Amino acid sequence: MLILGIETSCDETAAALVRDDRTILSDVVLSQLEEHRPYGGIVPEIAARAHLEHVDRLVGEAMAQAGVSFADLDAVACTGGPGLIGGVMVGVMTAKAIALAANKPFLAVNHLEGHALTARLTHDIPFPYLLLLASGGHCQLLAVLGVGQYRRLGTTIDDAAGEAFDKVAKMVGLGYPGGPQVQAWANKGDPTRFALPRPMKGKPGCDFSFSGLKNAVRLLVESRPAPLSEQDVADICAAFQTAVAESVADRTKRAIALFTETWPEGKHLVVAGGVAANTALRAALEKAGAAGGLTFLAPPLNLCTDNAAMIAWAGVERFRLGLVDGLDFAPRPRWPLDPTAPKARGAGVKA
């Protein structure tokens, strides 16, 4: 089975060809960082226009690298949501056009499911497993029970972890995107110099919160002489990153206890999403997993951030089960993995 995947949900335009034996024949990603850097964040209209300008060329490059034609495909998969709706529409319409012209099935993939199933592409792990999905738009703990079968154990009650990294980077004068910059500076800093809160640590449940931590960083920055010294920046980044890692690890430990009690056959803790590239967070999660009796897994860094290989693989998983979509599918700006979960409310909540 050979699936073409297209990803356009945020600020990466991507196309990939993946076989059902887990071979990635091609995985082409075009970042829009330079377009958005002057604004300190993603501008939806700029993102949509960039997707429209480049998606056809990237699909062509992916097909050429894989050495296949549209006739060789078994189906065409794309991100159908959630995401910036202008970008999602570009990918959906492109995939529909290819599917129609080549007379191939069309698969609309939940972007979050792409992240959720990546560990099955890279490590071939069985269901069920516990997933921490952490990105610029989402921060959730989920029991992954099967394709299209998710139980949300915890979610952010305000902001996502990745969004907090970006905002803190901006506060201390670092560039966009913030996550890699904060980590680089944190590696040079003293995490004990400044005291910052550990949001939700020790509280019941598995939910996250990062708005209070962001505000604490803002107050700390405002209390320091301007401009911040390089040592101030490094120490603030180190303190913030440590606070996030400890908070996330605490929430994950609670989710592990709930997961192993409810689904004792599950053996893995998986982290996915762009924030999964943070080495301090990975180390904290690996320790939490070991303490809870779960094996920790993280996809390679290039498959943690947005990419089309994960969309193609999710397409493989869905196509195996006959989960094909009609060409009347409507792009979705919101698309929860667990529609039965109570709706989270608060500033910044995306699910």
Please give the mean pLDDT across all residues of the chain.
Answer: 94
Q: Are residues 136 and 237 in the same domain?
A: yes
pLDDT for the residue numbered 32: 72
Average pLDDT over residues 7-34: 93
**Amino acid letter at 317?**
E
pLDDT band at 40 (very low <50, low <70, confident <90, very high): confident
Spatial separation of the C-alpha atoms in residues 264 and 169, rounded to whole Å: 40
**Amino acid letter at 227?**
P
pLDDT above 70 (res 245):
yes
pLDDT band at 299 (very low <50, low <70, confident <90, very high): very high
Q: Quick one: tokens of 339?
A: 């529609």
pLDDT for the residue numbered 100: 98
Instruction: Answer yes or no: is 281 within a domain.
Output: yes
pLDDT for the residue numbered 137: 83
Q: Are residues 283 and 144 in the same domain?
A: yes
Average pLDDT over residues 268-283: 92
Instruction: Answer yes or no: is 339 within a domain.
Output: no
Strands 2-7 and 12-19: antiparallel
pLDDT band at 345 (very low <50, low <70, confident <90, very high): low
**Amino acid letter at 273?**
G
Average pLDDT over residues 255-271: 98
Instruction: Answer yes or no: is 348 within a domain.
Output: no
Three-class secondary structure of residue 137 per DSSP: coil
CATH code of the domain containing 62: 3.30.420.40
pLDDT above 90 (res 343):
no
Q: Which residue has the higher pLDDT, 33 or 10?
A: 10
Q: Are residues 18 and 150 in the same domain?
A: no
Specify whether the CB–CB gap between 128 and 143 falls below 8 A.
yes
Instruction: Answer yes or no: is 350 within a domain.
Output: no
Q: Which helix (H) or strand (E) holds 26?
A: strand 24-31
Task: Sort residue 273 into left (φ over 0), alpha (ψ -120 to 50) or beta.
Answer: left
Q: Are residues 213 and 279 in the same domain?
A: yes
Instruction: Answer yes or no: is 341 within a domain.
Output: no
Q: Are residues 294 and 311 in the same domain?
A: no
Spatial separation of the C-alpha atoms in residues 289 and 50, rounded to whole Å: 40
pLDDT band at 351 (very low <50, low <70, confident <90, very high): low
Percent of the chain exceeding pLDDT 70 equals 97
Average pLDDT over residues 94-100: 98
pLDDT tens profile 127-167 = 999 999 998 788 999 999 999 999 999 999 999 999 999 99
DSSP state, residue 201: T
Q: Are residues 281 and 311 in the same domain?
A: no
pLDDT for the residue numbered 176: 80
Residue 140, C-beta contacts closer than 8 angstroms, at least 6 positions apart: 112, 131, 132, 133, 152, 154, 155, 156, 337, 351
Spatial separation of the C-alpha atoms in residues 188 and 234, rounded to whole Å: 6
Q: Are residues 76 and 196 in the same domain?
A: no
Report how far apart, in Å, the C-alpha atoms of 107 and of each of 99, 289, 344 are.
9, 34, 28
Q: Are residues 263 and 152 in the same domain?
A: yes
Spatial separation of the C-alpha atoms in residues 76 and 74, rounded to whole Å: 7
pLDDT band at 346 (very low <50, low <70, confident <90, very high): low
Q: Are residues 264 and 306 in the same domain?
A: no
Q: Are residues 192 and 265 in the same domain?
A: yes
pLDDT for the residue numbered 349: 56
Number of domains the chain contains:
2
Q: Which of 246-260, 309-323, 333-347 has the lowest mean pLDDT?
A: 333-347
CA atoms within a 13 Å half-sphere pointing along the CA-CB vector of 277? 20
Three-class secondary structure of residue 151 per DSSP: strand
CA atoms within a 13 Å half-sphere pointing along the CA-CB vector of 30? 19
Spatial separation of the C-alpha atoms in residues 324 and 109, rounded to whole Å: 10
pLDDT tens profile 55-70 = 999 999 999 999 999 9
DSSP code per residue over 50-94: HHHHHHHHHHHHHHHHHT--GGG-SEEEEEEESS-HHHHHHHHHH
Instruction: Answer yes or no: is 335 within a domain.
Output: no
Spatial separation of the C-alpha atoms in residues 283 and 309, rounded to whole Å: 25
pLDDT tens profile 177-199 = 889 999 999 999 999 999 999 99
pLDDT above 70 (res 350):
no
Q: Are residues 91 and 138 in the same domain?
A: no
Instruction: Answer yes or no: is 210 within a domain.
Output: yes
Report how far apart, in Å, the C-alpha atoms of 151 and of each of 139, 250, 259, 336 are.
14, 19, 10, 11
Specify whether the CB–CB gap between 319 and 107 falls below 8 A.
yes
Full residue range of the structural domain in which residue 28 is found? 2-117+302-320
Instruction: Answer yes or no: is 346 within a domain.
Output: no
Spatial separation of the C-alpha atoms in residues 266 and 142, rounded to whole Å: 12
Omega of the bond leading into 342 within 30 degrees of 0 (cis): no
Record the pTM.
0.94
Q: Are residues 151 and 244 in the same domain?
A: yes
